Structure 1
Amino acid sequence: MCMVKLLIADDEKYDRDSIINIIKNEFMEQLEISEARNGREVIEVFERVRPDIIITDIKMPGINGLKAIQEIRKINPNVFIIIITAYDYFDFAVEAVKNNVKEYILKPFSRVELIEKMKEAISFVNNEKEKRKNEIENQEKIYNLMPILENELSYSIINDTLYSIDYDTYLRYLEMDFRNGYAMVVQLNNVTNDESLKFKVGEYVKEYINHRYRTIGSYLFTKNLVYFIEVKSKEDEEVKADAIKLAADICREVKKVFGITLNIGVGVCCEGLVKLHKSYEEACISIEYKVQNNAVRYFGDVINAQEPVNADSEKIALFKAVEQYIIDNIKEEIDLEKTAAKFNLSSYYFSRTFKEILGYNYSDYVNIVRINKAKEFLLNKSKSIKEVCFLVGYSDPNYFSKVFKKYEGISPTEFKQNIN
């Protein structure tokens, strides 16, 4: 049980001593006792000690007990107050009720009565402290849960899998609604494999955004820093101007604090949480383009801007390198995300541009390369179909046969027979 602080206020020392003696004999180890001789001292001692319980006389010189209580209530409305007085006046009782006084004792009082009132007071204080302790513990649990909720909600938006979670509950806990919002993707320039720095910048940027807007973010397990920013209105030009200014301010402050430069892509503001994935895709596209060498790229500007003259040749050269990488690593697991990361590109931009340059979506192209390589191996009669399957990156011969037939119209066995 916690130590309870008690303040006894009475202008008569004999009365104070009498109360103290009765209480000490009964509650000595539970109480820390302070004294006051008048209303002014009650206020001063209260401000210094912050007692949990006050026993005070009403009639004291200068500031009386009721006036002192009024001042104390301004500081702490929940302190437990017991009034002791020799005057059974109705007006005093009315004032006491107004000031949320818990108990009222008339002089002369009995030892038993005082002890009973003190037991009630100590029980009340301990219950309130326990309640407060539980509230703080619950708040701490919720506070510790917030980053987890933020990350899961952010990942669900990024991966377009909001349907898999109860996002309304997440929003309620986060005290957000996302009636209107947009995505911001932040790329750190010339920073490789420094997760500690990335986390520090991520936290700094999030705190900076939170000075102006409510936001959730993800930067622990994403290549770039990703933020979803809640705004009150969807006035396109107004939101665009504010978003571009915010992004420019972030670039400036991060350069000042961390000495690194950023590229920031900003998606168009949309209505509702479900549509934020589209804004995220727009921010990813924006960050891949240069618009007048600006560090901040707003999607609406990007789609209307002309790419540099050599953009097509640069892209073709880049994806020729991608093509060679696939051929060289055909035996390995080369999924889209890993390959995009290998060339420092966002998955969305990589997928879209891959089809634009090579004419196939990524998975079809990888399968075509593998099947063509398989046909080369099958021409060598010394290799079994199972061996060929593993040589071109498939782990299941049945699946290999299924894919082979899809692209060649015949099974690997029939292909080998035709060679003979």
Structure 2
Amino acid sequence: MYKILVADDEKYDRDAIINILKNDFNDDFDVSQAKNGREAIEITEIEKPDIIIMDIKMPGIDGLKAIAEIKKFHQNAYFIILSAYDYFDFALEAMKLNVKDYILKPFSKKELIDKIQKGIEFINIERMKRKKQIEEQEKIYNLLPVLENELSYSIIINMVDLIDYQIYMDYLNMNFNNACCIIVDIKKDNNSDNIKIKVVDFLKEFIGRKYKNIVSYRFTKEIVFFISFDDKKVFSNREIMGNLTESIISEIRKVFNISVKIGNGSIYNGIHNMYKSYREACESLEYIDSDDLKLNRYEALEKQHNADSKKIILFKEVEKYIVENLKEDIDMEKTAKRFNISSSYFSRIFKDVLGYNFSDYINMIRIKKSKELLKEGILTIKEICYEVGYSDPNYFSKVFKKYEGVTPSEYKQKLI
């Protein structure tokens, strides 16, 4: 079935063309008609005809102007121009618009049939081309996950030079500029093939909103992502990694209600440095755990990034101070002053070492403590709110849900 539009201000000519179509092409055509250029444009927007027979001289918007407008939103239409005069200027303009054929009035039945038959042949060829393009594209889409898994797994086993990795990178549009490894380890009691694939699909889309990535999960117990940040400007590598890993943990808990371990390696340039980032991610897995909200993150940093030992010692003392004064109104200025550091410098190195800003970190510790108290089952939710340093139970509930995906009462109900 083909769609055809006949646009002519003369009803006699429209009827003549439509009768020929009905008599000689049976039910091959779904025919529409327009009596001027404006109607032709409006009908084409809705019907998207395959062939458009357009009279040049029509009141208002003439045929050539209508074709130019239609070309803006319907590139694939096959245009046949009708004219009572053999105007050379019109022919030149029609060529610019890529009009396929031209008929002079009065036309013979045979001439019209021949022109339409050429249009059908052209449309069939174009349809076959598009079909092949779609089939080829589908083959590529089906092949991409295989290439992705092979490339990422070759990095994991440190044998990337045994494959033509540049071809893989080109197909996957992955350049490993400013890139790193992140490992997601689902806890054993939740780790089934079904949930693993669902988490992979979810994270692939979630991470892909901002960053190019490839993933390996078929031959590994963990889910291994290699993520390229390209040349995006970030305040520090640790900052961007801290924000991303926190988001991954939060989103997985919210969507799947499961806990995972997250390990991340340093950000490097080039595919040959990805194995190093992968090994660092493996080593950090035992430290960066969603259940303890990564409160010992600086220990992982000390091990894998060789952070300044004085900063590590300082922040162990800072954590101790925060835990001991959890019920108090803890703010950054007071804490910085206590350790004889300017608030601006304290803020910068705090996020640099721990990957979080001060207020987020305080909330994480308070929520961790509130979970412990909820598990003990001695205090009410309101009492726990005050015990961990919140003055408003409603605000406490909102913060708890932000980090845990459920309210304190819902969390407590799950413990029963």
Name the TM-score, length of structure 2 as normaliser. Answer: 0.68
Check whether the contact 1:214–1:229 (CA below 8 A) recurs between aligned residues: yes
Residue equivalent to 1:280: 278
Determine whether 1:128 maps to 2:130. Answer: no
Residue equivalent to 1:16: 14
Structure 1 CA distance for aligned equivalents of residues 272 and 11 of structure 2: 71
Worse-superposed segment, 258-267 or 209-218: 258-267
Residue equivalent to 1:218: 216
Picking from 35, 38, 42, the partner of 1:37 is 35
Distance 1:269 1:12, change over 3 A: same
Picking from 34, 59, 66, the partner of 1:68 is 66
Structure 2 CA distance for aligned equivalents of residues 233 and 55 of structure 1: 52
Residue equivalent to 1:209: 207
Q: Percent same amino acid among aligned pairs?
A: 51
Structure 1 CA distance for aligned equivalents of residues 15 and 77 of structure 2: 22
Picking from 170, 177, 184, the partner of 2:182 is 184
Deviations 1:112-137 (A, max 9, x none): 22222112111111111111111111
Determine whether 1:295 maps to 2:294. Answer: yes
**What secondary structure does 2:25 align onto?**
helix
Return the offset for 1:90: 3.0
**What secondary structure does 1:95 align onto?**
helix
Check whether the contact 1:234–1:271 (CA below 8 A) recurs between aligned residues: no
Structure 2 CA distance for aligned equivalents of residues 183 and 275 of structure 1: 10
5+ residue gaps, structure 1: 309-420
Equivalent residue letter for 1:295: K
Check whether the contact 2:182–2:225 (CA below 8 A) recurs between aligned residues: yes
Return the offset for 1:163: 2.5
Structure 2 CA distance for aligned equivalents of residues 234 and 274 of structure 1: 20
**What secondary structure does 1:163 align onto?**
helix
Distance 1:95 1:236, change over 3 A: closer
Structure 2 CA distance for aligned equivalents of residues 254 and 290 of structure 1: 15
After TM superposition, list the pairs within 5 Å mapping 1:312-351 onto structure 2: none
Check whether the contact 1:86–1:106 (CA below 8 A) recurs between aligned residues: yes
Equivalent residue letter for 2:108: S
Return the offset for 1:239: 3.1
**What secondary structure does 1:24 align onto?**
helix
Equivalent residue letter for 2:79: I
Structure 2 CA distance for aligned equivalents of residues 255 and 130 of structure 1: 47
Structure 2 CA distance for aligned equivalents of residues 106 and 21 of structure 1: 18
Return the offset for 1:75: 0.8
Picking from 140, 145, 169, the partner of 1:147 is 145
Question: Which protein shows a greater Rg?
Answer: 1
Q: Which runs of 4 or more aligned residues in structure 1 lie more than 6 Å from their structure 2 counterparts after TM superposition?
A: 305-308
Return the offset for 1:272: 1.3
Worse-superposed segment, 91-100 or 277-286: 91-100
Structure 2 CA distance for aligned equivalents of residues 35 and 302 of structure 1: 76
Structure 1 CA distance for aligned equivalents of residues 253 and 193 of structure 2: 18
Return the offset for 1:252: 1.1
Residue equivalent to 1:27: 25
Return the offset for 1:234: 8.7
Structure 2 CA distance for aligned equivalents of residues 14 and 289 of structure 1: 84
Structure 2 CA distance for aligned equivalents of residues 150 and 52 of structure 1: 39
Distance 1:235 1:118, change over 3 A: closer
Structure 2 CA distance for aligned equivalents of residues 172 and 290 of structure 1: 33
Structure 2 CA distance for aligned equivalents of residues 152 and 300 of structure 1: 30
Return the offset for 1:291: 9.3
Check whether the contact 2:261–2:289 (CA below 8 A) recurs between aligned residues: no
Worse-superposed segment, 293-302 or 274-283: 293-302
Determine whether 1:269 maps to 2:278. Answer: no
Structure 1 CA distance for aligned equivalents of residues 137 and 185 of structure 2: 34
Residue equivalent to 2:225: 227
Name the TM-score, length of structure 1 as normaliser. Answer: 0.68
Distance 1:158 1:198, change over 3 A: same
After TM superposition, list the pairs within 5 Å mapping 1:62-101 onto structure 2: 62-101=60-99
Return the offset for 1:21: 2.6
5+ residue gaps, structure 2: 314-416
**What secondary structure does 1:129 align onto?**
helix
Deviations 1:52-71 (A, max 9, x none): 11001111222221222122
Equivalent residue letter for 2:256: F
Structure 1 CA distance for aligned equivalents of residues 167 and 272 of structure 2: 14
Aligned residues: 306
Check whether the contact 1:289–1:302 (CA below 8 A) recurs between aligned residues: no
